[in-house]
Amino acid sequence: MAAFSLNIQKHMEPGLVTCGKFDGSHACLAAATFGGNILVHSPHRQPQIKSNDYEQSDRKLSWSGELADLQIGTEITALCTGRLNDDDRDLLLIGTASYILAFNIEDNSDVFYKEMSDGARCIVIGKLGWLPRQVAIIGGNCSVAILDSQGTEIFWTVVEGIVTSLAVLDFDGDNENELITGTQDFEIKVYKEENVLWEAKETAPVTTLTGLPNRKFVYSVGNGTLGVYEMAQRLWRVKSKHRVVVTKSFDVNGDGIPEIITGWNNGKVDARSPNNGEVIFKIQLSAGIAGIVEADYRRIGKPDLVVVSTNGEVRGYGSGSTMDTPEPGEAMRELLAKKQVLQMELRQRAASVPNMYHSTKLAVTLMTSNGAARVVLASGPGLLIHCAIVFTEGVFDGETLVVHPPRPKGELEIELRPSKNTPVDIHVKVCVGPSGADLMQVFEMTRQLPRFCMYELIDKPGHVAEDFEKNFVIAEFAERPQRIALWLNQSLILPNEFELKEDGLNAGGIEAWLKGMRDNRIHCFKADMTGKVTIQTEDSTFAGDIIQSLSLYLGLRELSSEVSFPDEEKKLVDALERVKDLKEIDARLQAEAASDTTLLKNIIIRLEDARILENVEEMRKRLVQLKNVNVDLIKEHEIRMKSYRDLAANLKELNLGVQRAARLRVGKNASNTVAHCRSAIQDNNPKALLLAIRHE
């Protein structure tokens, strides 16, 4: 049961609810409402003595009993509370599409105002391992910025896609926190400074990220999926037709282990075990969930779990409380499910099953043909495959494919086309039975598609272009060719195991020619007897995937390489030159905008003077001037926005090029590549950039 309940009777924007001790001792709710306003609720606030009417009217925050309104005047995109200095009072950080504002609720004053050209889509306050103090981390349009307590930008980096969620967590177990980002491009990445420690591709935009104890974190995506990762291993995931609004970590049942609290857009709140996703408690509110916070709202010395709905309903649950309120119709659904199971059992007991049914076996084979990886199913003698259901991630729309042939078959092929070079787990359910049977046997099996299943082994082409040999990566793995051959056998779908070359120039080594089935590009992989690996390819991303996969298989922590990708190098140098020109254009446009703004202020002052003096002709003259200047300002703003979009696109291209270059190395060599490339970009030094990409 709820420890307390109240109704603020205000609309709350989903995902924009937070809580903080703005005076250092009393927990207060803060939530975004319609029209760019922020509502603050403080049930234990002490009434303050008004000094005079003028001072009160000058304040931004206006109190009315327990509630206060803070008018921002523009759409609020992010809210966060926390401490950025030694003050024991929390600050309220407000993000919009163009700036971030740090506001002190108790003093009713701005702490800092920072323009954010990329916007502030999400904000989190935390301690990162490579920085000495708590910082504000802001995710925007293809970028992440870090601000200190004065609003000074101390770190900035480009990321791929719009950042939709952030979390701070000790991911690699070194007792220092890393930064986890989720983007609209379906990606989760872990950063340690500029280096990407780990990344994963999901099936929809990532909506929430929340750190858990023991190097775990919970994530949710826009298609209703909720799951938990432990470091790089996903423990479990579930999928719902509803959408996750907020996730939180809180010990609801008082067993000392925090559960995962999830708020859904249909008003449901559930608590799940972080180890297996089992639902422990759940409640149902009358409106969608706007936010879930942890706060000592009753002032009992320990925090409660405070749930806020979009219609202003607020409920609090203490640790060890019972949240188990059944959903409407849940009991009926459970009874109907039991009835269905019992009816199926009766049908199975009444049916006469042939003896051959019990010894049926299903053959499963992985192969590549006709430009795709394929799962081939073959049933036992006298039986046919009626239906097959394939569950996998990132391969089909909706993650599920149902194959139902017009007529039952003895063999069935299922085409698979993974979009990225990552291992893919596939779960298959196959319905097998005689022709015309209404009772069938269901086989369930799990297989894993190899990382490079979309590449097939081919013979060496008769003609290889001269430019092809100019694109390569050379790395010294210092490993026996036999182990590298084992890696090849595990990473590709091969009709026969790969064997070492017995004669020719590369005798005792490996030479494998591959064809990418996504783009029909040709690649060559070579390894000699000393463990020197050469990858000839025009696709640097594929080369990076090879280097990372082979290094992981061999257990290497450090690896350097020599790199040559002339076309890509030229693109990066051109992007660097465009960035330089665009920065100069941006500085000039800002100066012109500042001049026009000063002129605009002077015209407004003269217009006000004319209005006071009731000089109609002067007012008309100033209004015409005002209109002309406003038109010029709008045009300049459009030019600045176009210039900024071009600048962001070129910076993103540079950043992705740096990341691709870093993935061609391992360990400190990868970190050094990133550092040297970024230094060259800051200094606008194309020669240093090329040197950092080629040699590390």
* Per-residue 3-state assignment (H helix, E strand, C coil) for 322-363: CCCCCCCCHHHHHHHHHHHHHHHHHHHHHCCCCHHHHCCCEE
What percent of the chain has pLDDT above 70? 93
How far, in Å, CA of 498 to CA of 378, rounded?
A: 26
- Average pLDDT in the 358-383 region? 83
Kindly give, in sequence order, each residue whose CB lies less than 8 Å from that of residue 223, ignoring residues fewer than 6 positions away. Answer: 203, 204, 239
- Average pLDDT in the 198-223 region? 91
* Strand partners for 272: 260, 279
Indicate the average pLDDT of the chain.
Answer: 86
pLDDT the model gives residue 51: 40
The answer to which of 254-268, 309-323, 481-495 has the lowest mean pLDDT is: 309-323
Phi and psi (nearest 5°) for 195? -85, 140
- Average pLDDT in the 579-589 region? 87
Task: For residue 148, give both structure tokens.
Answer: 């200190």
Exposure of 155 by Cβ count < 10 A (0-12 exposed, 13-18 middle, 19+ buried)?
Answer: middle
Residue 325 to residues 2, 281, 321, 631, 658: CA-CA distances in angstroms? 10, 8, 12, 59, 52
Which has more confidence, 356 or 645? 645
3-state secondary structure of 498: coil
CA-atom Rg of the chain in angstroms: 31
Q: How many residues does the chain have?
A: 696
Residue 102: pLDDT band by 50, 70, 90 thresholds? very high
Q: Kindly report, residue by residue over 383-430, the tens digit of the pLDDT.
A: 889 999 998 877 887 778 999 999 998 999 999 998 888 888 899 999
pLDDT the model gives residue 329: 62
The answer to which of 219-223, 321-325, 456-460, 597-601 has the lowest mean pLDDT is: 321-325
pLDDT the model gives residue 58: 43
Answer for the pair 117, 133: CB distance below 8 angstroms, yes or no.
Answer: no
pLDDT the model gives residue 88: 87
DSSP secondary structure letter of residue 470: G
Answer for the pair 218, 273: CB distance below 8 angstroms, yes or no.
Answer: no
Give me the sheet containing 384-391, strands edge to edge. 400-403, 384-391, 424-433, 441-449
Answer for the pair 192, 129: CB distance below 8 angstroms, yes or no.
Answer: yes
pLDDT the model gives residue 122: 94
Q: Kindly report, residue by residue over 457-488, the tens digit of the pLDDT.
A: 999 888 888 788 899 999 999 888 899 999 99
Residue 142 to residues 37, 129, 160, 186, 653: CA-CA distances in angstroms? 27, 23, 6, 13, 11
Give me the sheet containing 411-416, strands edge to edge. 362-369, 372-379, 411-416
* Strand partners for 188: 182, 200
- Average pLDDT in the 524-549 region? 93
Q: Kindly report, residue by residue over 596-651, the tens digit of the pLDDT.
A: 888 888 999 999 999 999 899 999 999 999 888 888 888 888 888 888 888 878 88
pLDDT at 563 over 70: yes
How far, in Å, CA of 473 to CA of 696, rounded?
A: 12
How far, in Å, CA of 482 to CA of 403, rounded?
A: 40
pLDDT the model gives residue 652: 82
Give me the sheet containing 244-250, strands edge to edge. 244-250, 259-264, 268-272, 279-284
Task: For residue 534, give both structure tokens.
Answer: 């050469």
pLDDT the model gives residue 59: 46
